[in-house]
């Protein structure tokens, strides 16, 4: 089965572009969306698309900001959105349990503050650490964890087109990349890099200057698999031809036995 993730940069805007329905029909079993930017009430029918028996939206307290949504052909055993009061108000997390599988749909914070000051980096890193601690506890229970979403960090130089130009930019700061290193040392694996070692693969492009057309982008959307889940991952992909957002979807194909 396919598990897919997409930062939609506004779910209502994506729907107006008629980009949502064709993508949902392309075959995923579980879908996580980030940057939904609306509550379930505001989304109306978009909060539960036709043909998706399970749907869940977690919105930010601030209107028009952040938010995540989960659509699934399988009914999860549970969905938890709590990580701590200072994080929960931003609507960034859904932990959906399907048998022995936990799918974490996550919109990680951006470190940029006002005027690109990087003053949100401490908050961003504390979110990373709190979530990793939470997921480690689930792994200790014998569960298999997939973490998907917009991580807002390019891990290595190969993961963005112009690394030297962005050494001081949030998303490629040494401390942000080091935090992803810690995830890897704790047994998480970048599923895309399991299958593709080459350059030129990105999931986000600035909307100015024709960056997408020229493929001047960043790979900041991931599906990480913990060591216990990795053997069930059979393929991973980035889908740059899917338009409608400044991000494109990413996905993994997994053995259905991952839930058993």
d(CA 134, CA 141): 11
Beta bridge partners, 181, equal: none
Q: Which of 80, 88, 136, 150 is catalytic?
A: 150
| Number of other CB atoms surrounding residue 65 within 10 Å | 15
Measured in degrees and rounded to the nearest 5, phi and psi for residue 132 equal: -60, -40
150 catalytic? Reply is yes
Long-range Cβ contact pairs of 187-190 (< 8 A, separation 24 or more): 187/139, 187/226, 187/227, 188/147, 188/224, 188/225, 188/226, 188/227, 189/224, 189/225, 189/226, 189/227, 189/230, 190/155, 190/222, 190/224
- The structure tokens listed for 249 are 């979807």
Q: State the catalytic residues.
A: 150
């Amino acid at each position: 089965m396919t598990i897919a993730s997409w930062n939609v940069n506004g779910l209502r805007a994506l729907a107006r572009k008629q980009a949502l329905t064709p993508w949902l029909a392309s075959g995923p079993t579980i879908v996580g969306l980030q940057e939904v930017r609306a509550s379930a009430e505001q989304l109306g029918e978009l909060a539960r698309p036709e043909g998706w028996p399970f749907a869940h939206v977690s919105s930010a307290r601030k209107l028009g900001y952040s938010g995540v949504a989960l659509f699934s052909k399988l009914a999860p055993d549970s969905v938890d959105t709590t990580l701590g009061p200072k994080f929960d108000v931003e609507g960034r997390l859904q932990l959906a349990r399907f048998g022995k599988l936990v799918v974490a749909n996550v919109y990680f914070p951006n470190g940029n503050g006002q005027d690109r000051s990087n003053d949100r980096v401490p908050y961003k890193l504390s979110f990373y650490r709190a979530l990793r601690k939470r997921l480690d506890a689930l792994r200790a229970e014998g569960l298999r964890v997939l973490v998907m979403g917009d991580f807002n960090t390019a891990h290595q130089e190969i993961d963005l087109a112009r690394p030297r130009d962005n050494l001081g930019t949030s998303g490629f700061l040494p401390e942000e990349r080091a935090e992803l290193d810690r995830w890897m040392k704790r047994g998480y694996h970048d599923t895309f890099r399991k299958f593709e070692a080459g350059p030129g693969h990105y999931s986000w492009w600035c909307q100015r200057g024709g960056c997408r057309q020229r493929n001047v982008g960043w790979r900041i959307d991931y599906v990480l698999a913990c060591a216990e889940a990795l053997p069930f991952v059979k393929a991973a992909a980035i889908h740059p031809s899917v338009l409608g957002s400044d991000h494109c979807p990413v996905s993994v194909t997994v053995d259905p036995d991952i839930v058993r």
